[in-house]
Structure 1
């Protein structure tokens, strides 16, 4: 049985298209906050890259923003399912993978073990995973985590207020996954259930980026 309001039918899923300015504009339009409601994705947005490379991941599984094109730094904070306070600003310096999910979401169940595997694999690279659990009960959400081996924390956001922190990239489908670079800026977005093979190259690429010395960059004459 679903928890929370009934979930509308899944939105039709677009086929593969190259990543570029028009692709990013299309994504912005899709995720615009005004006038929409969250829906459950019934299928992946498109097929995962077959060769497990960043090139395939960019074109087939995610929208990837080059470092000079990243403009949105979401402001997110809340209380986890375990009752601990967390603020995304406190994770600056790490690459952060944010996954919007609900135990009532069939695609979330499909990707759950993939996410658990990704979190374990990328932790040594300075990557932190954080879930955002929406429209759920704590009992169902914790049972989901136990069943699928999810050990990273999740903000409990039953009324989806936390999602407003994403502003113009606020998700309108569940699951949605974001990768934030070490400055806290959105580097990639994936809509629909992801796979370990398809999403690992994106995380690896962001984690391998040279950290920006923000203090030096702000000094006069630098």
Structure 2
């Protein structure tokens, strides 16, 4: 974590715990409504867990189960395996499309933040099924999470949205590295995080998610 100022790292974790706790309290009344809507819209569980790549350390890369509200039909990849989502993906349910557009599907990830698997803001957590091919195809791809936990939202997420192909990920890597560089200075980090927070709220209220 040599590129991250120690005070910034400490304050970032503290702000993660505070914001995730507030997020859970604010969204608590929505949880039963979202859960009921998901159950009425399509058969299957309310929550969806998926293995993701976490923080990269000098001797290993961490992995964790990311929790989301289910937005696709059950067993969506049972035949195809891991594939990119598309803008008009037929696997996405009606309720799931609304949850994605408003980013409400990501509310359960507050639990991942409190558990220390994720940060509120950081690089997008990638899927293991795509990771090796992305690392081979994109220079410095793995470095984007060195010493840094992936985030629920981030500079790349608000600038570009969901990934639909490898070129989307390639253009996001520059945003991820820009965010990492901002953490070398406390002032730059605060400025960057405030920008991302307001940009994320804009995405949610304008339904610009995918």
TM-score, scaled to structure 1:
0.29
TM-score, scaled to structure 2:
0.30
Structure number with the bigger relative contact order (C-alpha 8 A, sep ≥ 6) is: 1
